[in-house]
Structure 1
Amino acid sequence: MPAPTLYDWIGGIETLERLTAEFYRRVQQDAELAPIFADMNPDHPAHVAAFIAEVFGGPKTYSEQHGGHPEMVRHHLNRHLTETQRRRRISLLLDCYGQSDAPQDPEFASAPVGYLEWGSRLAVINAQPGAKVNPHAEMPRWGWGETGGPYIPKGTK
């Protein structure tokens, strides 16, 4: 039996929307991150949830309605993000995730952490002066990585 997508395992768009809403609620109270998102569109958390959903194997809503990976890169241009801000963002995201009703099993948790490391480092690169958007950049796809799927003890479904 093939492993479920990360999107299915986390609980779909509803879980991702709750996580991103909580993250951006906390961002507004965070001295390091609040200035970056001060002019954030109220729909931003839902757009980010749609992006992550697609990356995790869910519907292609972000590509079809919001421009795909090139548009996400475009949102980071000239933001001058720092390594300190990147690490603070990951820390806050992990706090939100750890305090959520999302699956906490180590096999699953390692996949979003890997994606956050990769994606946040890419965001910093794309936020520096002179960064360019590749209009043909494909949407990243993230999977289970080394674990190959969720841990399901023998004798259970």
Structure 2
Amino acid sequence: MRPTLYEFAGGKPAFLALARAHHERCLADPELNHPFSHPDQHPQHVERLAAYWAEVMGGPPEYSGKCGDHSAMLVMHAGNGDMSDLGRRFVECFVAAADDARLPQDPEFRAALRDYMEWAVAEVLSYPTDDIPVPSRLPMPRWSWHGPEAGSSVESLL
């Protein structure tokens, strides 16, 4: 049986390295810098981001157990207006951060990561204004080698 994306990446340390590398790349980006250097950002933002991505990719339910469900994450990022260029930049930082974090170079693995992040960014950007409410109690998405897992909340959002 094939390992989860979480296991293949190297588990919790790999996702923490990915979140750290991604955060650094976003801070270095002239357009993404502002949202990533905001003074009221949670002090454990990087760790929470790592836990979220890890859970989505098949890791333990650490994020949902401590921070909330998928709806809670969407609410945090909703209502920011049209940010389509920021979304593209965010994905590019994520892809480059996978190199920085020394995640496996396997093309199928890297394609799964990119596909997830493109989907995730599009979903976040689908709530640009406060008049488009985020549904409550959305379960965590689950992503596999071939996209959303069967029965995952992602399937209903595609």
Task: Give 1:125 deviation, angstroms.
Answer: 1.0
Q: Distance in 1 between matches of 2:90 and 2:116?
A: 13
Query: What's the counterpart of residue 64 of structure 1?
Result: 65
Mind listing any 5+ residue stretches in structure 2 that lack a counterpart?
A: 148-158
Query: What's the counterpart of residue 15 of structure 2?
Result: 16
Query: What's the counterpart of residue 115 of structure 2?
Result: 114
The Cα offsets for residues 74-98 of structure 1, whole Å up to 9 and x where unpaired, read as 1112122511110011111111112
Task: Give 1:68 deviation, angstroms.
Answer: 1.6
Q: Secondary structure at the match of 1:126?
A: coil
Greater Rg, structure 1 or structure 2? Answer: 1
Query: What's the counterpart of residue 74 of structure 1?
Result: 75
TM-score by length of structure 2 reads: 0.86
Instruction: Provide closer, same or farther for how the CA distance between residues 21 and 81 of structure 1 changes in structure 2, counting only shifts above 3 A.
Output: farther
Q: Distance in 2 between matches of 1:100 and 1:46?
A: 14
Mind listing any 5+ residue stretches in structure 1 that lack a counterpart?
A: 147-157
Report the residue type matching 1:69 in the other structure.
Answer: H
Q: Distance in 1 between matches of 2:13 and 2:34?
A: 27
Instruction: Provide closer, same or farther for how the CA distance between residues 122 and 66 of structure 1 changes in structure 2, counting only shifts above 3 A.
Output: same
The percentage of aligned residue pairs carrying the same residue is: 32
Query: What's the counterpart of residue 29 of structure 1?
Result: 28
Q: Secondary structure at the match of 2:48?
A: helix
Number of aligned pairs?
Answer: 145
RMSD of aligned alpha carbons: 1.4
| 1:2-151 correspondence runs (5 A) | 2-39=1-38, 40-145=41-146
Q: Which runs of 4+ in 1 moved over 4 A?
A: none
Report the residue type matching 1:91 in the other structure.
Answer: E
TM-score by length of structure 1 reads: 0.86
Task: Give 1:56 deviation, angstroms.
Answer: 0.6
Q: Distance in 2 between matches of 1:37 and 1:100?
A: 19
- Could you tell me whether the CA contact under 8 Å between 2:58 and 2:142 is conserved in 1? yes
Q: Secondary structure at the match of 2:76?
A: helix
